[in-house]
Chain A
Amino acid sequence: MMSCGRHVVALHSGSAAETRTFAAYRHRLADVVETRHGAALPEADVVWVPEGIPRRRLAALTPALEAVLDRGGAVLLFGDHQAGWPAYARWTFRPAGGAGQTKIGAAWRNTQVGAAAAALHHHGVLAPPTGAEVLLAAPDGAAVAYLDRTSTAGTMLVSTIDPLAHFGHTGAPNAARFLDELLRWVTTSLPRRRDGS
């Protein structure tokens, strides 16, 4: 499936998991950008920031990511969130777990991407900023993934699941299903911002 005119750009920090995953999904991505020497993202509508991106590299890319958000684009974040960006991300450690036990929030209820996300384990929980929509929650209600459409002019999906690692290292079918459905969702269902559409 092509990206329906929406340019999804993935950030590649050189790991085996990223190499394998982006090779498999290259046909659904407008570009794969290496983070080693910094990067500009002028053509990106959606930026996929994999779990495990080195914190220094994320810090260096922050102006480019904020520019994407400023023009109404979307940023997808995974894994733990201790890099200091986004500044309002509040992450708390929990041992990895929770596969099949999470509750699906309204925006993902009765969707394939929601069902696929609920099958994955997660790495900690999040305190969403005011106005954010919880996409996935632990049994005690703590957020595992949320959609923030209020903190910036764009859209941020912040989550603690790590689909790239599982697909990239072991080809895990659950992770593949989620990535398939996520890319479909961001290109067909995720509303655009800034211009009101």
Chain B
Amino acid sequence: MTCYLRLHEIAVAVHADADRTDWDECLGLWQTADGVAGRDVALAAMPVTAIDLDDLPTAELTSFAGLILAGRSDQTLLAAMQDKLRGFLDKGRVVVFSGQLTHDWLPGATAFEPDLAGGVESGPPQLGEHPIFSSVSPHDLGTNFLYSNGRHRPPAGADVIALRADGTPGAYVDRASTGGTVLLHGGTNLLANATTDSSAARIAPQLIEWVRQEAHR
């Protein structure tokens, strides 16, 4: 699933306070969005603020529970603001990245390692017992929900929450490297699952809620 309709050029900042989001309405908006304008409407209905990635280095982040960053993010920009991201995490906040790390900016994480054999056999991932994946069927997830051509190596103390088809780590939660929480997911954007009409769509609201709860833990 590739999303050029807005998600790739923004940081999604999750609101810290509880709210009354109508997720049925939100997911309906995601499924019918047919352009940038539609995606902006869908984002506006969610308890998030879309921050243009180029504005992130100067954005005031204090009030947000976490940031969800896309795989097409400018990692040179993120590397240049890594101290700000580290400070945000050390205040107990959450940073979620879906994609392949090529630069050193995410605490505790190391670069995406291509599989030497050229990729593992494809197949549905194994999802752990994690609130983000509650009631989500692995068979409803897209081909690149976890990339089959490589992975990130989890740091010591991280919890692996999803495995690739070959049983190697595909996503992890790291509460040890900073004062906050890093979720690194080696696949396409978790929020983009909202565009589906399957159980995979549950990932978007469950991710937002998890970020909020995690920031309050």
Interface residues of A (CB under 8 A from B): 13-17, 19-20, 34, 36, 51-52, 54-57, 79-80, 82, 93, 96, 123, 162, 165, 169-171
In the bound complex, CA of A170 to CA of B1 (Å): 13
Contact partner of A17 among B52, B72, B76, B119, CB < 8 A?
Answer: B72
A52 and B8 form a contact (CB under 8 A): yes
Contact partner of A14 among B2, B36, B74, B100, CB < 8 A?
Answer: B74
B112 and A16 form a contact (CB under 8 A): yes
B9 and A55 form a contact (CB under 8 A): yes
Check B157 for interface membership: any CB of A closer than 8 A.
Answer: no
Check B170 for interface membership: any CB of A closer than 8 A.
Answer: no
User: What residue in chain A is nearest B8 (Cβ atoms)?
Assistant: A52
Given contacts A51-B4, A123-B2, contact A170 B74 (CB under 8 A): no
User: What residue in chain A is nearest B5 (Cβ atoms)?
Assistant: A80
A44 to chain B, nearest CB (A): 21
A79 and B76 form a contact (CB under 8 A): no
In the bound complex, CA of A165 to CA of B8 (Å): 12
B43 to chain A, nearest CB (A): 15
What residues of A have a CB within 8 angstroms of the CB of B54 in the complex?
36, 54, 56-57
User: What residue in chain A is nearest B112 (Cβ atoms)?
Assistant: A16
Given contacts A16-B112, A34-B76, A93-B34, contact A170 B8 (CB under 8 A): no
B77 and A82 form a contact (CB under 8 A): no
In the bound complex, CA of A55 to CA of B36 (Å): 10
In the bound complex, CA of A54 to CA of B9 (Å): 6
Contact partner of B75 among A15, A57, A82, A93, CB < 8 A?
Answer: A15
Q: List 6 A-B contacts (CB under 8 A).
A: A15-B74, A16-B99, A16-B100, A19-B103, A52-B4, A123-B4
Q: By the criterion of a CB under 8 Å from any partner CB, how many residues of chain B are at the interface?
A: 32
Stretch binding the partner chain, chosen from B18-26, B88-96, B142-150, B202-210: B142-150
User: What residue in chain B is nearest A20 (Cβ atoms)?
Assistant: B102
In the bound complex, CA of A65 to CA of B160 (Å): 45
B124 to chain A, nearest CB (A): 17
Given contacts A36-B77, A52-B8, A55-B9, contact A16 B2 (CB under 8 A): no
In the bound complex, CA of A52 to CA of B119 (Å): 25
A122 to chain B, nearest CB (A): 11
B34 and A96 form a contact (CB under 8 A): no
B2 and A54 form a contact (CB under 8 A): no
- Flag B12-55 by CB within 8 Å of A: 1 or 0 each: 00000000000000000000001110000000000000001110
In the bound complex, CA of A16 to CA of B118 (Å): 18
In the bound complex, CA of A153 to CA of B162 (Å): 52
What residues of A have a CB within 8 angstroms of the CB of B8 in the complex?
15, 52, 54
What residues of B have a CB within 8 angstroms of the CB of A123 in the complex?
2, 4
B147 and A14 form a contact (CB under 8 A): no
Closest 4 CB pairs of A and B: A14-B74, A93-B34, A54-B9, A14-B76
In the bound complex, CA of A180 to CA of B35 (Å): 30
A39 to chain B, nearest CB (A): 14
What residues of B have a CB within 8 angstroms of the CB of A19 in the complex?
75, 102-103
A56 and B52 form a contact (CB under 8 A): yes
B71 and A15 form a contact (CB under 8 A): yes
Check B184 for interface membership: any CB of A closer than 8 A.
Answer: no
What residues of B have a CB within 8 angstroms of the CB of A13 in the complex?
74
B48 to chain A, nearest CB (A): 19
User: What residue in chain B is nearest A83 (Cβ atoms)?
Assistant: B36
Check B101 for interface membership: any CB of A closer than 8 A.
Answer: yes
Check B177 for interface membership: any CB of A closer than 8 A.
Answer: no
Given contacts A19-B102, A51-B4, A80-B4, contact A170 B149 (CB under 8 A): yes
Given contacts A16-B100, A51-B4, contact A170 B147 (CB under 8 A): yes
In the bound complex, CA of A17 to CA of B4 (Å): 13
